[in-house]
Homo-oligomer: A and B are copies of this chain.
């Protein structure tokens, strides 16, 4: 990892937060460029930013002259170029389990509830605040119910998979924070709560949290 790492980040973006956790777990120093998703209509829509990522989404990770997008692709990249400590187990079936948990969050909960979708519900469809809140909670509960059921099939560990953090934890912890922020009652998910409580004690997770970011409001 000779070349420097630069993360285009918004403190509250859970997709960026995943990558911050991975970077800290791997002990990789990086420079933060804050991109404010709300100010001036959203700095992610600026031409200069879109020239780096046409999707206009955070995060972007730059590694030397390589520009990387999509949080899961970035974490897989980090796993390949900085394999220690690993964020995926060794056996193919176990790796698939961890990836499936990460994707459950990244494909089936987060995208339906992210900023631009909530903005469309409100501005494009005229959905009232209470119905928007119900939408948010519906997808959180649908996803976390399935995630809790998946976790309950395996022996209890400190993390989503065994006793070392993986990509699944990088995805889960920001999602749990967001769920609480939007008033979801998480009492029905004891395994998820225990994993979250454990991660909250670890330096890498603490350093990656929104309130520790330079752009925290």
Q: Mark A residues whose CB is within 8 Å of B.
A: 53-57, 63, 66, 68-70, 72-74, 76-77, 80-81, 92-93, 95-97, 99-100, 102-104, 106-108, 110-112, 117, 120-121, 124-125, 127, 131, 134-135, 138, 143, 145-146, 149-150
Contacts and interface: CB of A to CB of B under 8 A. Distances in A.
B103 A146 contact: no
B96 A146 contact: no
A90 to B, nearest CB: 11
Copy count, this protein chain: 2
Given A57-B108, A76-B99, A131 B120 contact: no
Nearest to A54: B149
Contacts of A131: 124-125
A76 B96 contact: yes
Contacts of A80: 92, 95
B138 A120 contact: yes
A120 B135 contact: yes
B77 A96 contact: yes
A106 B95 CA distance: 19
A160 to B, nearest CB: 13
A100 B150 contact: no
Given A74-B96, A125-B135, A54 B108 contact: no
A53, A54, A63, A68 interface centre (most CB from chain B within 10 Å): A54
